[in-house]
C-alpha cells in the first residue's frame, strides 16, 4: 500500500507540475505573458481572450464593440490611421461590459491614442447595467494570482484553448490573425435579411416620444458607460459611431411605432457625447445607398465585412462627423427620410 | 469551504494532513488536535465569520452545560441542566432555521404582520446541533465519559463531517482521535481514503452537478414541460440527490480515513432497497439512527402495540421532514415517507413474493415521487409539476433539456469522436444513456464502502483514482453547492 500511495502522490504532483508548466507556456488567453513567437494561437473566445490582449499585446489603438465591430480588420485600421491596433469585441454585449473592458485596458495603458467603438443604435434605450452574459471567467480579469488555478485546471480552457494551440503549434499551422479573430463571413442579401424578420402586418400607432423615466434611462446609460469613461481618459480620442442598420430595421421601428422614441434617444445621446472634447461622433444613417441595399446585410442589423472597411474610410476622412453645428440638421434630415420612406415598396421590390 | 473546490483540494487539505501528522510525529498530540480544531474552524469560517461565531458559541454552551451537569449532584438540577441544554440547541436551531417559517404561517392564519428575520441559515447547523444534543442527552443519562474541551471541540468541528454529516456520536469519534495507533501515517488508510475521495468528488462534480443543470431548467421553465419531460426531470433529480449526497458522504468517509478515523457509514446503496423500511436503513443512516435513538424509542418505539408503533413512525418522519427544511413541502415529504413506512409494515411479508428487481424499481419510483416534493420550492410548485405531468403535450421533450446536455464538454468530445451523426438524429440519446447508466449503477454496482474495503489496490485502481481526481478537479470551475448543506 505504501508504494501505491507514494505512486499516487508522485503522479499527482507530476501532473500538477506538467499542467501548470504547459498552461503557462501555451497561455491561450494571454493571461500570464505576451504571445510567444513559437506558439500558434487559436484566437477564439472573446470573453476569455480580450483582457489578455489588453494586458500583453503591443498597441496604441483598440477597436471595440459588439458583433457590429467583429469584422473590422486591425490591419486596415493600422494602414488607414497609421496606428498599431488590436480588436476586442464582445458578441451581444451591453454598453457596460464594453465600457468596463476599455476602462481596464486604459488604466493599464496610459499611452493609448485611439479607441474605435461601435455604438449599437438599438441599445441606447436600455438600462445602464444591461447585460445578458453570465458566467464570466473572472479569474482572468483580476490580478489575484491564487485564482489562476481556475485557469490552469479548467477542462474548458484545455479543450478550447491549450490543446488546440498545442496541436496547431506541433502541426505548424498559422496562428489566427487579429483580422480573423471573431470575424464572420456569412452570406448576405434580401433572402437572409427577410428570413429573420417577422413583420407585423398591421402598423402600430406611433408612440409620441420617451417618457420622463425613459429619458432618464437613456441619459444614465450614456453617462455611465460613455461620458464617464471618456472624461476619465482625456488624452485618448474616442471614435464613436452609430451603427448603420438596414432599411429593414427602420421598417421594423416604423411598424412597431418606435421611430420617434429612437430619434429622441438619439438626440439625448448625441448631445451628451458632443460635450466631450475627446469624442469624435459619427452618424452614417444618411448613407442611404448602403442602408437601402439588402446585399450589404445579413439580417436587419448586421452589415457585411465590406461595410466595416467602408466605415473605416469614412472615419478617417471625417465623413459623417457629427458636430454641435450640424447635429440638429442631420437629425431633422434623418427624421424626414425615415418617417416618409416607402417601406412597403422597398420590401416588395428589393 | 467546499470539498469540491480548488482551495480545499490543492491547499487546505494537504496542509491539514501534513500538520496533523507532523505534530504527532513530534509527539505533540495536543498540538495536533489544536491544529485540527484551528483548521476545522478555518474551513467553516472561510465563507462567513458570523457562522463561525455561532458554531463556537454553540460548542462552548454545550460543553459548559455538560460540565455543570457532571458536577451537579441533585437529579432536579441535572434535569434542569438537561432542559437548558436542549433549550439552547433547539433554540438556536429554531431561531435561525424555523423562525421565519412560523412567522409566515402565523401572519397567514391570523392576519398579523410580524416582521421576518430573514437570516441566512448557518451551514450545517442541523448537523452539529444534533450531534451536540446527543452529547447532552447521553451525558444526562450517564452514557458518556468525560472529555476535555479540546477533544470535544475537535469532535464537533471535525471538518470532514461538520457541514453535512454523517451525524457522528462522540463515542465514535473521540476515541479514534485519542488512540495512539492512529497517530501515525497508515498507508492502507491513506490509499482507501484517497480512492474514496476521488469516487466521491467524481460523483458530486461529474454526475450530480451535471444533473443539476437539467433539473434547474425543468423547474425554471415549468410551463413548457409535459409528461415525458416531467418524468426526465423527476428522475434526474432523484439521481442528482443520490449522487450529490452519496458523493459528499464518500468524500467525508475518505477524508476521515486519511486521518485514520473511520466515520460511520451514512449511505448504503439506498436504491438497492427492496422495501421502504429497507430504504430508510440505507439512506442517511446516521440521521435515521439518531431519530430512532432519541425520538422513536423514547416515544415507546414498537413496545406499545401496533397502532402506537405506526403513530411513532409517522411522528419520526414528520420530524425528519421538518428537520430537512422549514417548508410545508418537507413536512409533506416526511408524511409521505412515514405513511409509506406504515403501509410497508402493514403489508408485512405479503410483498415478498414480488421479485426483488421489481420491488427495487418500485422503491426507486416511490422515492423519486417523494423527491419531487422535496425539490419543489413550494406546495404550489409541486402541484404545478404534477399538473404538467398529466398533460401529454404531444409527447415532446423540452429541447433545452437535451441541448444543455449535448452542449457539455464531454458530449462535445463524443461529437468530435464521430458520434455526431447519431446525436443529431437522436438528440435525447446521450442524456438517456447517461440516466440509464446511472440507474444501473444505483441498482446493481457495489457502493464506495464495499469497493474501498475489498479489491486490490493495483494499477487499475491507481488509474481510476488519478483519472477521476483530475477529471473532477478540471471540472471545478463551475461548481454548485451540496444539497445537504441547507439542512
In this predicted model, what pLDDT tens digit does every residue of B450-462 receive, in sequence order? Answer: 999 987 899 999 9
Residue A200 has what pLDDT? 78
Burial (0-12, 13-18, 19+ Cβ within 10 Å), B118? exposed
Alpha-carbon distance A308 to A297, whole Å? 11
ipTM score for this prediction = 0.88
Interface test with B, best of A5, A23, A164 (most B CBs within 10 A): A5
Nearest CA in chain A to B186: A2
**pLDDT (tens digit, 9 = 90+) per residue, B158-211?**
999 998 889 999 999 999 999 999 999 999 999 999 999 999 999 999 999 999
CA A48-A51-A56 angle, to 5 degrees, is 120
Residue A302 has what pLDDT? 95
Residue B479 has what pLDDT? 45
CB nearest to A12's CB, from B409, B412, B466: B466
Region B72-80 average pLDDT: 91
Please enumerate, as own/partner, the contacts of A294-298 that have beta carbons within 8 Å and a separation of 24 or more. A294/A188, A294/A189, A294/A190, A294/A193, A294/A246, A294/A247, A294/A248, A294/A350, A295/A188, A295/A189, A295/A190, A296/A188, A296/A246, A297/A188, A297/A189, A297/A192, A297/A193, A297/A246, A297/A248, A298/A186, A298/A187, A298/A188, A298/A192, A298/A193
Instruction: Determine how many CB atoms are found less than 10 A away from the CB of residue B380.
Output: 10
In the structure, what pLDDT confidence band is assigned to residue B328 with cuts at 50, 70 and 90? Answer: very high
Q: pTM of the full predicted structure?
A: 0.88
Task: List residues in chain A touching B: CB distance below 8 A.
Answer: 1-2, 4-5, 7-8, 11-12, 15-16, 135, 137, 149-150, 153-156, 158-159
**Nine-digit cell string for B11:** 491547499
Q: Is B18 on the interface with A (CB under 8 A)?
A: no
What is the distance of C-alpha A113 from the center of its chain? 18
Cβ-Cβ contacts under 8 Å between A and B: the total is 54
Instruction: Determine how many CB atoms are found less than 10 A away from the CB of residue A164.
Output: 18
Alpha-carbon distance B238 to B361, whole Å? 13
Contact yes or no for A153 and B476 at CB 8 A: yes
Region B429-439 average pLDDT: 97
Name, in order, each residue with C-beta under 8 angstroms of B7's C-beta and a sequence gap of 6 or more.
B1, B46
DSSP label at residue A296: G
Residues A105, A62: contact at Cβ < 8 Å?
A: yes
Residue B165 has what pLDDT? 80
Interface test with A, best of B2, B185, B464, B477 (most A CBs within 10 A): B477
Q: Is B201 on the interface with A (CB under 8 A)?
A: no
Q: Label residue B395 left, alpha or beta by phi (over 0 means left) and psi (-120 to 50 means alpha).
A: left
Residue B485 has what pLDDT? 54
Residue A301 has what pLDDT? 93
Residue B383 has pLDDT above 90, yes or no: no
Interface test with B, best of A20, A48, A153 (most B CBs within 10 A): A153
Residue with grid cell 475537535, as numbered in its chain: B154
Q: Is B454 on the interface with A (CB under 8 A)?
A: no
Widest CA span in chain A: 86
Nearest CA in chain A to B189: A1
Residue B481 has what pLDDT? 44
Residues of A in contact with B474 (CB under 8 A): 153-155, 158
Residues A92, A133: contact at Cβ < 8 Å?
A: yes
**pLDDT (tens digit, 9 = 90+) per residue, B235-279?**
999 999 999 999 999 999 999 999 999 999 999 999 999 999 999
For chain A (350 residues), the mean pLDDT of every run of 10, in chain order, is: 95 97 96 95 91 95 96 96 95 93 92 94 94 81 90 93 95 94 92 86 89 96 97 96 96 93 96 97 96 94 96 95 95 95 88
Residue B483 has what pLDDT? 52
The distance in angstroms from the start CA to the end CA of chain A is: 78
Alpha-carbon distance B302 to B308, whole Å? 7
Nearest CA in chain A to B11: A146
Alpha-carbon distance B328 to A154, whole Å? 40
Question: Which residues of B are catalytically annotated?
Answer: 324
Fold of A55-149+178-348: Rossmann fold (3.40.50)
Alpha-carbon distance B201 to B293, whole Å? 31
Alpha-carbon distance B270 to B360, whole Å? 10
Instruction: Determine how many CB atoms are found less than 10 A away from the CB of residue B423.
Output: 17
- DSSP secondary structure letters along B370-396: HHHHHHSSSHHHHHHHHHHHH--GGG-
Nearest CA in chain A to B191: A5
Residue B20 has pLDDT above 60, yes or no: yes
CA distance A65 to chain B (A): 27
Amino acid at each position: 500500500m505504501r508504494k501505491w500511495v507514494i505512486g499516487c502522490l508522485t503522479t499527482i504532483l507530476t501532473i500538477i507540475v506538467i499542467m501548470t508548466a504547459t498552461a503557462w507556456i501555451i497561455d491561450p488567453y494571454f493571461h500570464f505573458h505576451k504571445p510567444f513567437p513559437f506558439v500558434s494561437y487559436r484566437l477564439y473566445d472573446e470573453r476569455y481572450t480580450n483582457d489578455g490582449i489588453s494586458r500583453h499585446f503591443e498597441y496604441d489603438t483598440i477597436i471595440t464593440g459588439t458583433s457590429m465591430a467583429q469584422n473590422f480588420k486591425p490591419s486596415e485600421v493600422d494602414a488607414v490611421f497609421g496606428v498599431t491596433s488590436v480588436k476586442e469585441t464582445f458578441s451581444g454585449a451591453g454598453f457596460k461590459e464594453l465600457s468596463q473592458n476599455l476602462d481596464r485596458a486604459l488604466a493599464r495603458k496610459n499611452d493609448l491614442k485611439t479607441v474605435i467603438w461601435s455604438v449599437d443604435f438599438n441599445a441606447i434605450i436600455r438600462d445602464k447595467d444591461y447585460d445578458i452574459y453570465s458566467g464570466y471567467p473572472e479569474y482572468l480579469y483580476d490580478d489575484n494570482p491564487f485564482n489562476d488555478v481556475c485557469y490552469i485546471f479548467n477542462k474548458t480552457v484545455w479543450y478550447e484553448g491549450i490543446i488546440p494551440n498545442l496541436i496547431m503549434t506541433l502541426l505548424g499551422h498559422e496562428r489566427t490573425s487579429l483580422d480573423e479573430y471573431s470575424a464572420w463571413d456569412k452570406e448576405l442579401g434580401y433572402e437572409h435579411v427577410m428570413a429573420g424578420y417577422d413583420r407585423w402586418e398591421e402598423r402600430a400607432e406611433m408612440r409620441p416620444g420617451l417618457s420622463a423615466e425613459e429619458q432618464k434611462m437613456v441619459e444614465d446609460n450614456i453617462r455611465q458607460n460613455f461620458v464617464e469613461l471618456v472624461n476619465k481618459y482625456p488624452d485618448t480620442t474616442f471614435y464613436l459611431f452609430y451603427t448603420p442598420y438596414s432599411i429593414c430595421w427602420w421598417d421594423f421601428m416604423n411598424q412597431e411605432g418606435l421611430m420617434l422614441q429612437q430619434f429622441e434617444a438619439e438626440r439625448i445621446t448625441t448631445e451628451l457625447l458632443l460635450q466631450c472634447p475627446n469624442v469624435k461622433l459619427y452618424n452614417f444613417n444618411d448613407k442611404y445607398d448602403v442602408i437601402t441595399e439588402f446585399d450589404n446585410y445579413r439580417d436587419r442589423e448586421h452589415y457585411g465585412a465590406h461595410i466595416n472597411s467602408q466605415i473605416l474610410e469614412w472615419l478617417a476622412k471625417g465623413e459623417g462627423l457629427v458636430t454641435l453645428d450640424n447635429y440638429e440638421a442631420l437629425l431633422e434630415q434623418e427624421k424626414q427620410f425615415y418617417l416618409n420612406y416607402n417601406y412597403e415598396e422597398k420590401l416588395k421590390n428589393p | 469551504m467546499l470539498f469540491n473546490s480548488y482551495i480545499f483540494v490543492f491547499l487546505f487539505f494537504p496542509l491539514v494532513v501534513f500538520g496533523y501528522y507532523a505534530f504527532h510525529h513530534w509527539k505533540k498530540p495536543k498540538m495536533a488536535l489544536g491544529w485540527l480544531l484551528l483548521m476545522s474552524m478555518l474551513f467553516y469560517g472561510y465563507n462567513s465569520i458570523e457562522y463561525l461565531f455561532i458554531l463556537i458559541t454553540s460548542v462552548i454552551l454545550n460543553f459548559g452545560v455538560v460540565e455543570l451537569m457532571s458536577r451537579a449532584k441533585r437529579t432536579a438540577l441535572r434535569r434542569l441542566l438537561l432542559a437548558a441544554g436542549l433549550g439552547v440547541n433547539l433554540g438556536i436551531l429554531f431561531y435561525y432555521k424555523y423562525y421565519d417559517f412560523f412567522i409566515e404561517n402565523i401572519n397567514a392564519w391570523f392576519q398579523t404582520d410580524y416582521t421576518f428575520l430573514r437570516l441566512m441559515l448557518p451551514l450545517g447547523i442541523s448537523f452539529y446541533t444534533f450531534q451536540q444534543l446527543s452529547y447532552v442527552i447521553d451525558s444526562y443519562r450517564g452514557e458518556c465519559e468525560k472529555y476535555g474541551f479540546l477533544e470535544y471541540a475537535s469532535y464537533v468541528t471535525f471538518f470532514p463531517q461538520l457541514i453535512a454529516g454523517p451525524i457522528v456520536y462522540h463515542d465514535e469519534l473521540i476515541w479514534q482521535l485519542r488512540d495512539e495507533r492512529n497517530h501515525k501515517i497508515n498507508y492502507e488508510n491513506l490509499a482507501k481514503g484517497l480512492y474514496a475521495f476521488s469516487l466521491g468528488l467524481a460523483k458530486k462534480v461529474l454526475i450530480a452537478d451535471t444533473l443539476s443543470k437539467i433539473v434547474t431548467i425543468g423547474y425554471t421553465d415549468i410551463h413548457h414541460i409535459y409528461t415525458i419531460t416531467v418524468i426526465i426531470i423527476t428522475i434526474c433529480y432523484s439521481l442528482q440527490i443520490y449522487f450529490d449526497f452519496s458523493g459528499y458522504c464518500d468524500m467525508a468517509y475518505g477524508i476521515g480515513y486519511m486521518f485514520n478515523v473511520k466515520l460511520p457509514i451514512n449511505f448504503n446503496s439506498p436504491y438497492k432497497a427492496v422495501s421502504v423500511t429497507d430504504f430508510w436503513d440505507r439512506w442517511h443512516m446516521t440521521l435515521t439512527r439518531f431519530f430512532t435513538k432519541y425520538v422513536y424509542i423514547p416515544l415507546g418505539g414498537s413496545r406499545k402495540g401496533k397502532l402506537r408503533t405506526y403513530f411513532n413512525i409517522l411522528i419520526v418522519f414528520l420530524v425528519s421532514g421538518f428537520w430537512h427544511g422549514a417548508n410545508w413541502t418537507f413536512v409533506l415529504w416526511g408524511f409521505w415517507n412515514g405513511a409509506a413506512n406504515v403501509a410497508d409494515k402493514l403489508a408485512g411479508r405479503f410483498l415478498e413474493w414480488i421479485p426483488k428487481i421489481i420491488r427495487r424499481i418500485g422503491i426507486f419510483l416511490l422515492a423519486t415521487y417523494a423527491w419531487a416534493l422535496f425539490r419543489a420550492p413550494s406546495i404550489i410548485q409541486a402541484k404545478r409539476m404534477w399538473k404538467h405531468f398529466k398533460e401529454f403535450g404531444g409527447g415532446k421533450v423540452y429541447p433545452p433539456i437535451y441541448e444543455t446536455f449535448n452542449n457539455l464538454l464531454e458530449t462535445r468530445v463524443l461529437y468530435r469522436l464521430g458520434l455526431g451523426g447519431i446525436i443529431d438524429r437522436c438528440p435525447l440519446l446521450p442524456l438517456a444513456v447517461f440516466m440509464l447508466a446511472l440507474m444501473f449503477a444505483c441498482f446493481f454496482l457495489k457502493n464506495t464502502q464495499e469497493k474501498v474495503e475489498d479489491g486490490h489496490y493495483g494499477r487499475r485502481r491507481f488509474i481510476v483514482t488519478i483519472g477521476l481526481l483530475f477529471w473532477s478537479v478540471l471540472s471545478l470551475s463551475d461548481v454548485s453547492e451540496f444539497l445537504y448543506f441547507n439542512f
